[in-house]
A and B are shown apart, each in its own frame.
Chain A
Amino acid sequence: MALFGPRLDRPTALGDEGRPRATSLTVASVLVFGLLVVATTCPWAWGIRIDGWIPELIIPSCAGLGQLTLGLATATGLTTAGMALLNRERFVSLFIGQVIFLPAGTALVGGLGLLVFVSPAYGLLFAGFATAMVALASSWTDTASAESVRPALFQEGMTYLSILLWGFFVAVLALSVFLVRAVVSGSTQPTVSLVLFLVFVFVAAFCFRLGLRWLPIRQLTPRSKRDAVDTTLGRLRLASTLVALASVAGVIVTVGLAIFGVFSLLYGVVPPVATLFRALSTAPVVVTVFGIGLLALAGGVVALLLRRLTRPVDRTSNRVIAPFVAGLFLTIGMLPFTFSLLPIPFPPFVAIVLVIVGPIALYLLGWTLVLAEYVGVLPSRAGGPALAAGGMVVATIGTALVGLPGPVVLATAAVAMVVWDVSAFGLGVTAELGHMPETRRLELFHALIVLGVGVVAVVGLSLLDLLRTTVAGQRPILLAAALAVLGVLVLLVPLRGYVVGEAVD
């Protein structure tokens, strides 16, 4: 049952244990997101001031945090969608997965890391909610297991390397263009002009040769004319090779003759030759020579890309080529765009560090989760729910440290438990009954029971909190509460056999 558009996971009919039932996940997701909105907009502080005839809405300063909620939700959604797409096989899916996973994941990890560094309390609050949302979204897309995270991390690593490679290539290319342009515009020596022209001819011939190799000229020719086209293509290949070789030889000969002073003699005897050589490195000639080669190369690259996009699914080559192409796209398109959107207050070096170190941090964080599942810290069949509940526990600590009211802190802790219980219950239903039977009533009934327990606990403990903050002194009641918690934990020892065992029944 898809609630929010097309599903990103591909469930099997029976025994698909990775994804809890939709109703359970809906309950968990709504609770987490609702609590995030409440915690970041502090509705208890809003008010209405009636001054004259027109009532005025009093918006507290803490409500400004709500602006971050949208950004956080967008980044978590894009990260999860990217991770789900990176588990696909088609080139287009992998490419789009790369393009959205790496920037969004980097922004999420980098932004939260920065927030923890700047303000630990708010950092913990948002990191907890972000973890919970990513975990729940991954459960929706059935990518919360190490088996799904590993290929995404592999792809991400490849894309990062590809970005570095393309960045280096683009930098070298830009530098070359800049240098050539400087030399062309500044050179008045006819011999230098001739050498530059020969170099341009070599590059253009090489590009033309490559473009000729990739362009599907023969394939698009009618069968009756293929022999003639083959002959023409052979001649063109031979000609371009000869031109390239001749230009290299020309450069060597020109340099040799220039050393022996032959050109000075020539310019003295035939002065128009110097003018002719100078004209060889003027902009119209250079653009024409380069244009032929670059047009052929561009056509060849487009043909190659089209061929790749329309080829039947080849998982291995797609997983290698997609990061390579995505790296080029991110280098040329996304990085300048990202830099242009960076917030002004941060110094540029922070942005550069974020772009360079962010993907590495994302990579390491992903592998930590994979490792956590391998060593058994995260249950292998219920990684998503466990991570979501863990995130909400961290968010509970964040809400307390930020200084949000006691009921909100208690509600966050209760939601952590509800998220775990409801999601684990949904996983159990999926594992036992599969996706086919209708179990909405069963899940809603269970969710209602668990929510009821949470409401009773929150209300009871809120009253206790009220008692603590109003009636009694702060220190003695704190000590009493600590002793109570430790006492309950000690009392749990006899129940050890009850609480140790499988994560999901």
Chain B
Amino acid sequence: MNQSSTRWRGAVAAATLLAVVGLAARSGALLLAALVPLSYLGFAFATSGPVDATLRVTRRVEPDLVPPGTPVHVTLTVTNDSEHGLSDVRVVDAVPEDLAVMRGSPRTGVTLEPGESATLEYVVVARRGVHDFEPPRVRIRSLGGASVSTLRPPVEGSTELVCRLDAEAPPIDDQGSQFVGQLTTSDPGPGLTFHSTREYRRGDDAKRIDWRNYAKRNELATVNYERRLAATVVVVVDARTVSRTAPGPGRPTAVELSAYAATHAVRDLLGSGHEVGVAVIGDDGPGPAGLHWLPPAGGEGQRSQAVDVFRDATEATGRSGDTDRQLTELLDLTPPGAQLALFSPLLDDLPVTALETWRSQGFPGVVLSPDVVTDNTVSGQFEQVQRYTRLARCQATGARTMDWRRGTPLPFALEYAFAADARLPGQGQVGTKGGAR
């Protein structure tokens, strides 16, 4: 599309004024000065017309398959493949509507010699879904800026960003270990982490004999490891309306982050041989009392079903279900001895009350709370203080509580929340079933 610029009508008025005053004052200099605006007008007219340009555009999106909340680097390169220079090239990349630019700018304005390239780099924060990048809008102006051509050149390279909850999850078979469970206890037994040594008993596995001790003291001793236990864990995601809050435009909501963390947790727990159940509160699901419910089980099928449930939770836009009824029903559905892992931003008191109830019923609890509160305003700081208070209340119930701040890698948060849980005094046996294999 080609347009002519029309910003020179003031020049005609200036020329007329100077000519009239020049005639009235009989000033030759003013009459000649009246020709100056007209010469600018003439220049603009002479250099107007369609701008002939051949551009090559390349885009790189790294990485292009990510979980929610991950920064994604986008690089757009525009190369002038014409045989002449372009004096004014303005490029605006078409950032998908749902994404927000976190750093850099998707816009630039440059002059390009033949063969020269301009690169613009920016970072967006991934949100769940498939985001298509349209071709960028390129505007090229003529030498005097009098005519404008708008182009949508085709793009080579990446044109989409895929953001999935299980983007980083390898197959369970690759991840699983030969031990049952990942929750470690203070009790000695088979495992991986050194615990103590004891006197050798007949029938002990030769691999567990402490040969160094035998070499020193000529006595046989057997190494004890921290016993690993299998557990039943019910992962609960808070998808209520209040939790569908984002820290800014184009950022993932707390439900998306919770679902992402829950997906990781399910993957890790299933990979370690635990049985995992899934519940989503705050949405009108097909399960009992409107819950999205998946009974505890193990295996690859359970993980894919769990991911489907989490995906439904992130897509929820309607009103919350009867949350109190859902929480009551959840207690009935949870098998005795199971551990409840709650993923919630803790933006109100209901999750804390629910956790207190679970703890009073004897269920061990884990809380992982994604931080979506911005504290650059007074109200945000107040909200953050309230959230910290809720985190402290969760911790006071005896539940393992983890504040997942922005910038903290999720695996660390999950490892802290789950792996160390069984080491807490008095909690080692709670919520675990079976025994050492």
Contacts and interface: CB of A to CB of B under 8 A. Distances in A.
Given A400-B27, A432-B139, A478-B26, A446 B145 contact: yes
A432 B19 contact: no
B18 A397 contact: yes
A485 B25 contact: no
B14 A484 contact: no
Given A386-B10, A442-B88, A465-B29, A393 B45 contact: no
A406 B111 contact: no
Interface string A399-415: 01100001001101110
Contacts of B109: 429, 432-433, 437, 439, 442
Given A434-B105, A495-B45, A485 B35 contact: yes
A468 interface: yes
Given A410-B36, A421-B40, A433 B92 contact: yes
Contact of A441 (B38, B104, B107, B110): B110
B108 interface: yes
A458 interface: yes
Contacts of B35: 457, 461, 484-485, 488
B124 interface: no
Interface string B186-222: 0000000000000000000000000000000000000
A478 B28 CA distance: 6
B30 interface: yes
A429 B23 CA distance: 38
B333 to A, nearest CB: 49
B5 interface: yes
Interface in B1-24: 3-12, 14-19, 21-23
Interface stretch (A61-69, A159-167, A497-505): A497-505
B45 A498 contact: yes
Contact of B148 (A433, A439, A492, A505): A505
Contacts of A409: 29-30, 32-33
B423 interface: no
Contacts of B10: 386, 389, 420, 503
Contacts of B90: 429, 432-433
Contact of A400 (B12, B25, B40, B139): B25
A482 B22 contact: yes
Contacts of A421: 7, 40, 145
B39 interface: yes
B11 A417 contact: yes
A477 B36 CA distance: 18
Contacts of A500: 6, 9
A436 B123 CA distance: 14
Contacts of B26: 478
A484 B31 CA distance: 9
A495 B9 CA distance: 10
Contacts of A456: 39
B43 interface: yes
A334 interface: no
Interface in A435-470: 436-439, 441-442, 445-446, 449-450, 453-454, 456-458, 461, 464-465, 468-469
Contacts of A453: 39-40, 43, 144
Given A410-B32, A410-B33, A457 B39 contact: yes
A401 B33 CA distance: 13
A410 B34 CA distance: 9
B181 interface: no
A386 B9 CA distance: 11
| Residue from the set A401, A417, A474 with the largest chain B CB neighbour count within 10 Å | A417
Nearest to A501: B6
B65 interface: no
Contact of A505 (B5, B18, B39): B5
A424 interface: yes
A416 interface: yes
A393 B26 CA distance: 17
Interface size class of B (residues with CB under 8 A): 35 or more
A474 B26 CA distance: 10
Contacts of A505: 3, 5-7, 145, 148
Contacts of A457: 35-36, 39-40
B331 interface: no
Contacts of A416: 14, 36-37
Given A485-B19, A504-B7, A412 B139 contact: no
Contact of A464 (B22, B27, B32): B32
Contacts of B139: 432
A489 interface: yes
A172 interface: no
B181 to A, nearest CB: 50
B120 interface: yes
Interface string A368-396: 00000000000000000010010001001
B32 A437 contact: no
A45 to B, nearest CB: 17
Interface in B129-146: 139, 143-145
A401 B41 contact: no
Given A393-B17, A433-B107, A468-B28, A424 B7 contact: yes
B395 interface: no
A481 B10 CA distance: 21
Contacts of A432: 90, 92, 107, 109, 139
Given A410-B36, A442-B110, A499 B30 contact: no
Interface in B32-63: 32-41, 43, 45, 48
A454 to B, nearest CB: 8
Given A453-B40, A457-B39, A500-B9, A400 B33 contact: yes
B105 A436 contact: yes
A30 interface: no
Contacts of A437: 105, 107-109, 120
A437 B110 CA distance: 10
A474 B28 CA distance: 8
B33 A498 contact: no
B25 A461 contact: no
A417 B28 contact: no
A396 B43 contact: no
A412 B143 contact: no
A52 B39 CA distance: 50
B145 A425 contact: yes
B32 A465 contact: yes
A486 interface: yes
Contacts of B36: 410, 413-414, 416-417, 454, 457-458, 461
Contacts of B3: 505
A502 B36 CA distance: 22
| Residue from the set A450, A465, A481, A504 with the largest chain B CB neighbour count within 10 Å | A481
Contacts of A396: 18, 30, 33
B34 A485 contact: yes
A406 B32 contact: yes
A442 B111 contact: yes
Contacts of B18: 393, 396-397, 413
| Residue from the set A393, A410, A502 with the largest chain B CB neighbour count within 10 Å | A393
Nearest to A468: B28
Contacts of B111: 441-442, 445
| Residue from the set A389, A400, A500 with the largest chain B CB neighbour count within 10 Å | A400
A477 B143 contact: no
7 contacts: A417-B14, A417-B36, A424-B7, A457-B40, A465-B32, A481-B22, A498-B6
Given A442-B109, A478-B31, A498-B6, 10 more contacts: A393-B18, A429-B90, A432-B90, A432-B107, A432-B139, A439-B108, A465-B29, A474-B28, A495-B45, A499-B41
Interface of A: 386, 389, 393, 396-397, 400-401, 406, 409-410, 412-414, 416-417, 420-421, 424-425, 429, 432-434, 436-439, 441-442, 445-446, 449-450, 453-454, 456-458, 461, 464-465, 468-469, 474, 477-478, 481-482, 484-486, 488-489, 492, 495, 498-505
Give me the 5 closest cross-chain CB pairs, A-B, nearest first: A501-B6, A436-B105, A413-B33, A413-B36, A439-B109
